[in-house]
Structures are given as C-alpha cells and as structure tokens.
Structure 1
Amino acid sequence: MSRILFFARSAKYTLGLPQGFRELRHPVFVLRDLSKKSLEEAVDRFRPDLLITTGWTYREHKRKHVDELVKKVAKYQIKHLYWATEDPRWTKECSLRSMQILKPDAVLTIHPESVSTYRRLGIPAGHLDFGCNPEFNRAEPLRPEYVYDVALVGNGGKAWKSYRKDSVEILLKPLVERGYHLAIWGSRWDRFNEELMGFKIPKQMIKGKLPYEETNKVYNSAKIIIGLQNDQGMLTSRTFEVLGAGGFLLTVPTQAVNNLFKNHVHLICSSSPENTVTLVNYFLKDAQARQEVAQNGQEEVYLHHTYKERAGQILQFLQLSADRIMKD
C-alpha cells in the first residue's frame, strides 16, 4: 500500500487523481501550498512513498520552498513522478523546466508523441491521459444561470499556434457569426484577436473566468458543450470531464478522439463549420437524441477513463519502470 503525496494547487488536479488513489485504498495527502509547516506535515510526518507533481506547479510557489521540497524528497528517497500536462505546446517552458527544478524520477505525459522527448534525456517516460472523477463529474440539476443552447468552457489562445485555432474555426466561429444562444467561460476571450481569427465575439457571449468547481454545473445545464482540442494526438481534460458529467459534447474528429470514442455514439464530431451548424440545429431540436449520446458517453468514461483507472496505470507504469531498472 503506497502513500501518495499529491502536490498541486488547482482544483482541476486536486479533484482528479487523488480521488483515484483513494478508491484504490492508498492513503493520499494533497499538498496545495508550500511553507515550512506544510512541508513538515506532508513529508516528514506523512512520509509518502510517491510524490506526484503536475504542470506549472513549480512557478506557483516560492522557489526556496520548492527547493526544500526537492531536498526532502531526496532525503527520504521518495519516488517522484511528474505528470506533464502542458505538452506539447509548453514542453520547453513548462515540462523541461520542471525537470530541471523538480528533478523527478519519471514522467508521464498527456501527449504520446512527447514520450520520446523525455526518454532521450534518459528519463523513464510514458503516456497518461486525463480522466474523470465520478464523485465530481456527474449528473446534477441544471442551474438557470448556466442554461444556454451552446456553451464553451476553456481559455482563449495566446498566439493561436496549435490545433486549438482549427477547433475554434470549425466549432465556435459559425455559431458566433449566426448569433446562437451561446456562452463562453474562460480567460483571454476578452482579448480575442479578431484580426487573426477572422471573426468577432459579441461581449454578451463572453462570461469571464469560471471556478473549476462550477464547471460541472455548466456541463449539466447547457444543451450542447463545445469541446475544443489542442492537438491531433491528445485529448483535453474537458473531453473526459464533460462526458463524465453526462454532458452532450460537440468536438472535432481528431485522431485522439477517434481512438477512444465513437462519433454519434459517445459524442458528436464536426469536421467543418457547415457541419457544425447542421449538427447543432439537429440536436437542439432532438432532446432525446442528445440524452442518448450523453448517456453513452458517460457510461464509456465511467467504464474506461476514471481517475481510479489512471491511478492504476500510474502504479503499473512505475512497477514496470522499476523492473526494467532491476534488469539493467
């Protein structure tokens, strides 16, 4: 029975993997903030067997406290796994910088093609998707303030250099231009680059930032949820979260989407702006069809893509890595 120290501040992470390890009966300590007191409690007293760090964690805290955590991990010989959740867009600035500062023993990345990047550095590496937590990503009564025909939860791009730009052009642009009853939550939409993207978003559609704890309510209240994708080879966290909530997900047919889900069974995929309009018009009129797809999607992620499943995959990966080291 491994004792798990999970170091993350955002609820996006703390409401995910920790629950999966708890369901596997592993003691879990969630470390959200760093201080002398919290480090003593989390490391010296809890005495974890495994530390898991994620994403941009290193820059969310004072460097001296991060360095102290790294020292304690080395002192007690705690296994350290880094989950690279910002690949491939921010591999250099985030993931590789985390390698330098946090000094993990192994890496799991959400982007399969990035695995080789870490292996070339001599670091044991593998692939781990996001998932859903049925304790949080679940059906709940709709909230009037979140009732829209179409909703998007996700941040706007900065330079729009990834496939996210294509997703916006296919899924969002045609609906905005036609004035659908649509709401957008997330950062940077108020600074949307209209010239680069080729369309303007009316101010009334932009709702600002949304606490992660509120996202599940949106997924249960809006009729259709737009799911942007950032890359052909990986899935966003919201893909699993929307489906886990029992939301009706409209996304794009990337390789990663097609690998894990069936179009018109678990979710709906659009390959063009015209296709998006056709699909949205059809499913807004057919509540029963929406419900059938949403239910199928929820059943699929509950069966194969929960954080309990992901926690098991982490433990299996670490065991396989340890076995290889022993053989070498």
Structure 2
Amino acid sequence: MVFLLSLKILCTNNSQLIKQGIASGFRNLGHEVFIMDGEYQLWDKSKEVQVEIFKDFIENNPIDMVFSECFANFAEGIFEHTKEKGIFHAYWAIEDTPHDHWIGDYWSDYADFVFTTTAECLPNYWNKGIQAELMLFGCNPKFHKRIDTDIQRDIVLIANNYERRFNQTKKFILPVVERGYDVSIFGNEWWMDSDRDVNLINHASVYKGYGAYEDLPYLYSSSKLILGQNLDDASITQTSMRPFEALAIGGGILVSPYTKAQEYLFHDHVYLPKNTDEMLSMVDEVLNMTDRQRKQKAKKAQQFVYKYHNYDLRAAQVINAYHGHKP
C-alpha cells in the first residue's frame, strides 16, 4: 500500500540506529523527519525536563506522528502528552526476546502501536488488545556501504562485552583470539574489566577501543572476516543490528555463532558455526579465500539485504500502521 501524503514525523531518540536507520527510510519515502537532538536531546535529562522539552517542541512544530525507541530513563509523560494531543505514537521494542520482554510490556501500555523485533512476543501484545507488528532491524544503503580501502586486519569484532554473552564469548570468540589470528576487537571498556568473568586482560593488544558507529563502514570494509554476536538464540526473528549492517557494508564475510533467526533471515550469506571446532574451521575457510572469492560472496550478501532488509521497507510498515490505526 502506498500513501502519497507527506507526514511530519518526530523521533524521540537520537541514537545512530534512528539517525542512520528508520529516519533515513522515512525521508526516502518523502516524509519530513525531526529528531530530538542537540538542544532537544532527551536521553541525558530527567524525566521532568524531558517532558518540558518535548511539549515545547510539539507546541512549536506541528507533528503527525511520534516514533520512539525508548532509552532507559524515558519519560512516560511523553506518551501521555501525545495521547492528550491525539498524536499517533509508535514504539519499537528492540530489546524483546521470547523469554525476556518486560521492557516492551511496560511501554506497550502507553503506545498506540508496537513494533517488535521478536515474532514470539506478538501474541503477548495482541492478547493485551494492543496493535502490534513484527519489524526487524535493517540497513541504509547510503550509509551501510563498502568503503574503497585496503585490508587492515584479518578479523574484526565490534560488540560490547555483555554478561549475557559470556558463554558465547568463551565458546566462539576467545578460541579465535587464543589461536593467534590477526584480530581487532572494538567495544566499551568492559572488555578490559578484570572484575568481569570474561575479559581480554590477557590479550590486551587485541582490544582497540570503543569503535564509533560512524566507523562501521570503514572497519568492516577493511577486514576480511567479521565476527558476530547475539544476545538471544531462541527466537526465529530476533538478532542484533549487526548482521544487517555487516552484510550491507559488503566488506568482510560474517561468521556468527548459530541462531535460528540468522539462519531464517540470512540463509547461506552468513557462516553459522554451532561449536568451537566449527568456528575455527569456518574462520580458516574464510581467511583462505582469494580476494575475488571473498568479494563475490560479500557482494551477493549485500544485494540480498539491500533488497529485503532496507529501512525504506521498515519505514513503510510504520506509515501503513499510521494510516490503518484504529484508536
């Protein structure tokens, strides 16, 4: 369904996921997008101040729809104000998992429409009488694209050292590091925290610092192989943002511990080892490819996600929900 009416859409979160993601899709579809950024940034303010800033923005800028991916201290009063004003407010529950969806549950009581990355959570919302739909992460071909650069390293991982990933890290990531491959790991300082059960203290040269989102295209383009990590392995649809972005950039080949979702969404465009031996074997296979073989495989993966997982498609879902919403 195609709607020609241009909407004024306000995004309350100024994360790169929004800026380089869904907001780009809205703009590509011809809509006017505002992001709570700069003097209107919300995430570092108290809830009371957030509501004041939001109300001020709404009073001075006519808005048709608000789109929120709620950060930790997000103010309930923002949802309450859009309800008072009769402004459609969509919420994207990106932290849902089949067994842990309390965050989405909480905000769904406030939102007019819920999008979730996890198909298994949909009946939960529907049973509450809430309009909800599956919406995955995606890619922005104007940003997530290959940079013409020389190879700087064999293997790269861009991820934070979450406790929930410790077993995955011990089983899949550390064996690669310990074998002595040319590995660069980017993420927050949790990797170098000796109080965490899993860390890189004994492999300090591997840790390269935070790794800004803006550097993703360069880091993935200048590596032969990209290591993946995910928080959940039970869902058929829930993944992190990274598989979509890594494949879209079309540089290194993605090798990521097996999940049903990655197999379902990306087919044979991703190497999906199920144990340590398979991990090391697949790493060797990718590193032994010729440049031509690697580029051909990366190009096919890029074309696949550009076609089926771009943010124009995701934005169209939100626009359709707006036009079909029944209060």
- Aligned pairs (5 A) from 1:33-182: 33-34=41-42, 39=54, 42-56=57-71, 59=73, 63=75, 67=77, 69-88=78-97, 91-92=101-102, 94-99=103-108, 103-142=110-149, 147-158=152-163, 160=164, 164-165=165-166, 167-182=168-183
Does residue 308 (structure 1) correspond to residue 312 (structure 2)? The answer is yes
Q: How far 1:123 moved relative to its partner?
A: 1.8
Deviation per CA, 1:25-56: give whole Å up to 9, x if none: 11111113146885366422332211110042
Residues 192/298 of structure 1: CA separation in 2 closer, same or farther (3 Å cut) = farther
Runs of 5+ in structure 1 lacking a partner?
none
Q: Is the aligned partner of 1:30 residue 2:35?
A: yes
Question: Which residue of the partner structure matches residue 274 of structure 1?
Answer: 277
Task: Verify the 8 A CA contact 1:283 1:289 in the aligned structure 2.
Answer: no
Write the distance in 1 (CA, Å) between the matches of 2:264 and 2:283. 23
TM-score by length of 1: 0.84
**Superimposed CA distance per residue, residues 232-252 of structure 1 (whole angstroms, 9 cap, x where no aligned partner):** 321210110111111321113
Amino acid at match of 2:178: E
Distance 1:143 1:83, change over 3 A: farther
Provide TM-score, normalisation by structure 2: 0.84
Provide the rounded CA distance (Å) in 1 between the counterparts of 2:178 and 2:243.
24
Given that 2:108 and 2:125 are in contact with CA atoms closer than 8 Å, whether structure 1 keeps it comes out as no
Query: Closer, same or farther in 2 for the Cα pair 1:41/1:205, shift >3 Å?
Result: same
CA deviation after TM superposition for structure 1 residue 267, in Å: 2.4
Aligned-residue CA RMSD (Å)? 2.6
Structure 2 CA distance for partners of 1:71 and 1:140, relative to 1, 3 Å: same
Partners of 1:257 and 1:108 in 2: CA distance: 19
Give the C-alpha shift of residue 77 in structure 1.
0.6
Identity %: 27
Q: CA deviation at 1:8?
A: 0.6
Query: How far does residue 319 in structure 1 lie from its aligned partner after superposition?
Result: 4.2
Q: Residue deviations 1:301-322, cap 9 Å, x none?
A: 1111111011112223444553
Change (3 A) 1:281 1:121: same
Letter in 2 for 1:80: H
Distance 2:144 2:32 in 1: 22
In structure 2, stretches of 5+ residues that fail to align are: 43-49
How many residue pairs match? The answer is: 305
Question: Aligned to 1:298, which of 271, 286, 302?
Answer: 302
| Residues 1:199 and 1:76: Cα distance change in structure 2 (over 3 Å) | closer
For 2:137, the aligned partner's letter is F
Task: Indicate whether 1:189 and 2:194 are aligned.
Answer: no
- The amino acid across from 2:241 in the alignment is S
For the structure 1 residues 262 and 179, does the alpha-carbon distance in structure 2 shift closer, same or farther, using more than 3 Å as the test?
same
> How far 1:288 moved relative to its partner?
2.1
Indicate conservation of the 8 Å contact 1:143/1:217, yes or no: no
